[in-house]
DNA sequence: TGCGATGTTGACTGACCAGTCAATCTATTC
DNA sequence: GAATAGATTGACTGGTCAGTCAACATCGCA
């Protein structure tokens, strides 16, 4: 479910304005024919982006890493940007869904936030490269991809803010600081800790 | 004092390897002759970087904004990178000094952290463009400039961590989570809130 | 006033790389 | 076993910019 939706979401941003002109788009429309190479390219891109960074790498690096020809990347994706867009949307949808699901549970707000933090940390432990790419190249890249996906990113803050807001009305949380401020600080703290792990400036122990 | 020190720190990173070949380097050595144009270029760069982003802008944009010829940028700076390096180092030194000074005061650790957060927020209020550039283009740009200045950035985390560590020994703070973890989360929360202000996803009220 | 040093100019070059495209290969269908 | 459609290839193009450089302007000093 999530993969098809994420793959379809290709408004992109930068790059050409000639979208949706050809037949389909990413996935070869109806007949599920060649999911192999497309997936291969995405997985290779994660590794290359994580290793060299999005801007520092060339499309040929991705093709080489995937073991396919240069042109094939453009057979499955409209642009280099769209490869990253796809990776991001795919994962971000999962995160948003996890937040919504957590929020729906009948547990104290504090535990909800702990669950969300735990989910993000688990995502990192499960696939560090992918999380590195998403955080470093999108979430924290406010001038490039962060701007293109600002709405999606802000949605996550909003959901977290909603949890805090509700808890403040219930009297679970103190009302001194605004919910959206708290949400921002909460998310920022998690992301910074992950960034610390990613770049090895702190080693991985917990506490929260 | 701080400007001359910051201007001198020019190991840089990327770009050419032909450093320090010509006479002096940045500031025209001994005789304080033309501080005008150099400062003009730095100020223009702040505006351009804040508006367009470092990667998206051209060196000619900086020159135009400053009202000087293209080549003059290269008279005062070895590379486009070095312009940003200079801006960063200049401001970061001020921050590090503020943290050290705060730490030296005989006040509770909680107040120290509040003072540091306040200093960063004040820096933003005083010159939002400069803080935007430093946060967006350096501090959060872990793959490009963040990597080049990792040592400086980590130094700040270390100083904050030191405050927490001391407070844990004193019994002021609980020892459950490691000091470096706390420092990372503390700094991340501040930076994320500022980022929220910078990109207008949250409006500016306080609470902490 | 003349001369070296320093400041200032902007056209030009060289490298880099995203994206194109025509050709080739590999099913699948009738 | 042709014919069609999609998959795959990689050499090539076009545009973009960082950085260079040779010429010109201005300043300070003897």
Mean of the per-residue pLDDT values of chain A: 86
What local confidence, expressed as pLDDT, does residue B50 receive? 98
* φ, ψ of residue A14 in degrees (nearest 5): -55, -155
Question: Is pLDDT at A113 greater than 90 in this prediction?
Answer: yes
Section B45-63 average pLDDT: 98
Which chain D positions have some atom within 7 A of a protein CB?
A: 6-12, 17-22
Partner-chain contact B188 A186, CB within 8 Å? no
Partner-chain contact A142 B56, CB within 8 Å? no
Tens of pLDDT, residue by residue over A123-156, are 999 999 999 999 999 999 999 999 999 999 999 9
Tens of pLDDT, residue by residue over B73-82, are 999 999 999 9
Q: How many residues does chain A have?
A: 208
Section A32-37 average pLDDT: 63
Question: Is pLDDT at B12 greater than 90 in this prediction?
Answer: no
What local confidence, expressed as pLDDT, does residue B201 receive? 86
Question: Is pLDDT at B25 greater than 50 in this prediction?
Answer: no
Section B134-150 average pLDDT: 96
Give the HSE-up count for residue A128: Cα atoms under 13 Å, Cβ half-sphere. 10
The helix/strand count (H/E) of chain A reads as 10, 0
Question: Is pLDDT at B101 greater than 60 in this prediction?
Answer: yes
Question: Is pLDDT at B192 greater than 60 in this prediction?
Answer: yes
Partner-chain contact A181 B154, CB within 8 Å? no
What local confidence, expressed as pLDDT, does residue A155 receive? 97
Cα–Cα nearest to B2, from B87, B111, B113, B100:
B87
Tens of pLDDT, residue by residue over B160-174, are 999 999 999 999 999
What local confidence, expressed as pLDDT, does residue B140 receive? 97
Mean of the per-residue pLDDT values of chain B: 86
Partner-chain contact A193 B181, CB within 8 Å? yes
Query: Which of A22-31, A153-162, B100-109 shows the lowest mean pLDDT across its residues?
Result: A22-31
Cα–Cα nearest to A39, from A10, A5, A77, A11:
A77
Section B25-54 average pLDDT: 77
CA–C1' B137–D16 (A): 21
CB B205 within 8 A of CB B198: no
Tens of pLDDT, residue by residue over A8-19, are 333 333 332 233
B-facing residues of A in 178-207 (CB < 8 A) are 178, 180-182, 184-193, 195-196, 198-199, 201-202, 205-207
CB A37 within 8 A of CB A72: yes
Confidence category of residue A99, pLDDT binned at 50, 70, 90: very high
List of E strands, B104-143:
none
Name the burial class of residue A93, with classes exposed (0-12), middle (13-18) and buried (19+) by CB atoms within 10 angstroms of its CB.
Answer: middle
Tens of pLDDT, residue by residue over A39-75, are 999 999 999 999 999 999 999 999 999 999 999 999 9
Query: Which of A39-53, B15-29, B115-129 shows the lowest mean pLDDT across its residues?
Result: B15-29
Distance CA B157, CA B159 (A): 6
How many beta carbons lie within 10 A of that of residue B118, not counting itself? 16
Tens of pLDDT, residue by residue over A179-196, are 999 999 999 999 999 999
The model's pTM is: 0.85
Q: Which of A53, A176, A189 sits opposite B185 (nearest CB)?
A: A189
List the single residue in B with minimal CA-CA distance to A139.
B140
């Amino acid at each position: 479910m999530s993969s098809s939706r994420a793959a379809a979401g290709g408004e992109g941003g930068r790059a050409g304005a000639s979208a949706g002109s050809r037949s389909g788009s990413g996935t070869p429309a109806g007949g599920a024919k060649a999911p192999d190479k497309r997936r291969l390219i995405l997985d290779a891109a994660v590794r290359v982006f994580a290793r060299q960074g999005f801007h520092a790498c060339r499309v040929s690096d991705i093709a080489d890493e995937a073991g396919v020809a240069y042109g094939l990347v453009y057979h499955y994706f409209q642009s280099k940007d769209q490869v990253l867009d796809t990776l991001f949307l795919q994962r971000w949808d999962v995160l948003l869904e996890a937040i919504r699901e957590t929020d729906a549970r009948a547990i104290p707000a504090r535990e909800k936030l702990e669950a969300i933090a735990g989910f993000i940390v688990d995502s990192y432990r499960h696939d560090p490269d992918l999380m590195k790419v998403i955080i470093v190249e999108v979430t924290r890249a406010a001038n490039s991809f962060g701007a293109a996906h600002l709405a999606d990113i802000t949605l996550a803050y909003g959901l977290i803010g909603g949890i805090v807001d509700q808890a403040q009305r219930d009297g679970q949380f103190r009302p001194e600081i605004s919910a959206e401020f708290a949400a921002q600080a909460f998310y920022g703290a998690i992301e910074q800790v992950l960034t610390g792990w990613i770049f090895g400036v702190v080693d991985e122990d917990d506490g929260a």
